[in-house]
A = this chain, B = another copy of it.
Amino acid sequence: VRVDELGEFGLLQRLLPQLPQSDAVLVPPGDDAAVLAIAGSVVASTDVLVDGVHLRRDWFSGVDVGIKAAAVNMADVAAMGASPVALLVALVLPADMEVTWVDDFVEGLRQATAPVGCSVVGGDLSSGSVLTVAVTALGALDGPPVLRSGARPGDVVAVCGRLGWAAAGLAVLQRGFRSPRVLVDAQRRPDPPYAAGPAAARAGATAMVDVSDGLLADLGHLARSSGVQVRVDATRVAVDEPVAAMGQAFGVDPMVWVLTGGEDHALAATLRPDAQVPPDWRVIGEVTAGEGVAVVGAEVEGTGGFEHFSRS
């Protein structure tokens, strides 16, 4: 069955029951708008994925797109120190797409949101020639937000989550392979450490970012916003085994993927030197006076130019 045969109303009738609603949802999808009870302040972020730009339908299943669209937005919420509460999803579908693809997409949304207690509370469907997914994530924040601008000299720099996996997975896909599955899935189905954001906030994180453009690029945003230099000690940045193995197979220094690859949606934060670094966070550097990002402790092929790195 093609989506144009079912129509918008039929699609929504089919999809909505698949999406569980948390206690925070006072009015579920189906009215003019959803209504939410959000304790504290409200965190909001939006990201759009376009077929051919951010994803490829031949590489990404409906489940993959649903997971990715949810994850990239929930990670932005977590990077403020907040917990994701709700998603709103605008989906533009070519008329000839199969309804089963949309079922899979909704299943992907469910897989990504249900473990986090986040509900899909709104959506809009439209026909259009290019598959496009725009997601807005809303979160609840019960303390002050952790901005990009709060890092101070003397802070430690820490990360939580995978680095380089999604970039290695993209390299695998670009070379026409579909395995190792663990790397390909890292690219297609990011699994950010959402709870690590509020944990870092509670530990007194002075600044935090979601690693979407690459560790050095996103630390560069943090450094610029804070007016400091971030020094990354490459000897403290782990290269996980699947990433290292794939680098060897492809003749690529895997540290390039780790330092410059985005899309894993790890979190990077700075904390006062006497702060207790929360579980699962690894200290990888320090904050000093200055500007930009410096990589020290190793000569990394292809990243030598990141001294005073300022990619926007």
User: CA of A43 to CA of B49 in the docked complex: distance in angstroms?
Assistant: 24
Is A50 a contact of B126 with CB atoms below 8 Å?
yes
A129–B50 alpha-carbon span in the complex (Å): 9
Q: A27-B147, A31-B148, A46-B123 are in contact. Are A136 and B38 (CB under 8 A)?
A: no
Complex CA gap A76/B32 in Å reads 5
Contact at A130–B127, with CB atoms within 8 Å? Answer: no
SS class, residues of chain A in contact with chain B: strand
Question: In residues 134-154 of chain A, which contact B (Cβ within 8 Å)?
Answer: 134, 136-139, 141, 145, 147-149
Interface size class of A (residues with CB under 8 A): 35 or more
Q: Is the CB of B42 within 8 A of A134?
A: no
Do the beta carbons of B46 and A126 come within 8 Å of each other?
no
A28 to chain B, nearest CB (A): 11
Within 8 Å of chain B (Cβ to Cβ): is A36? yes
What CA separation (Å) do A79 and B30 show in the bound complex? 13
Check A86 for interface membership: any CB of B closer than 8 A.
Answer: yes
Query: Which residues of chain A in 46-74 are interfacial with respect to chain B, using CB atoms and an 8 Å cutoff?
Result: 46-50, 52-54
How many monomers of this protein are in the complex?
2
1-42 of chain A: CB within 8 A of chain B: 9, 26-27, 30-38, 41-42
Please, which residue of chain B has its CB at the minimum distance from the CB of A197?
B32
State whether B32 touches A80 (Cβ < 8 A).
yes
Q: Which residue of B lies closest to A148 (CB)?
A: B31
In the docked arrangement, what's the CA distance between A86 and B38, Å?
15
User: Does residue A243 face the partner (Cβ distance < 8 Å to B)?
Assistant: no
The smallest C-beta distance from A211 to any residue of chain B, in angstroms, reads 10
Cross-interface CB contact of A34 among B35, B44, B47, B122, cutoff 8 Å: B44
Bound form: Cα–Cα A47–B92 in Å:
11
A159: interface (CB < 8 Å): no
A77 touches B33 (CB 8 A): yes
Who on chain B is nearest to A89 by CB?
A: B46
In the complex the two chains form, is B38's CB within 8 Å of A124's CB? no
Decide if A129 touches B126 in the complex (CB within 8 Å). no
The reply to whether the CB of A90 lies closer than 8 angstroms to some CB of chain B is: yes
Bound-state CA distance A46–B73 (Å) is 15
Q: Is A45 an interface residue (CB 8 A)?
A: yes
* A107-140 with Cβ < 8 A to chain B: 121-124, 126-130, 132, 134, 136-139
A43 to B147 alpha-carbon distance, docked (Å): 25
Q: Which residue of B is nearest A35, CB measured?
A: B145
| Residues from chain B with Cβ under 8 Å of A136 in the complex | 44, 46, 88, 90, 122, 136
A266 to chain B, nearest CB (A): 13
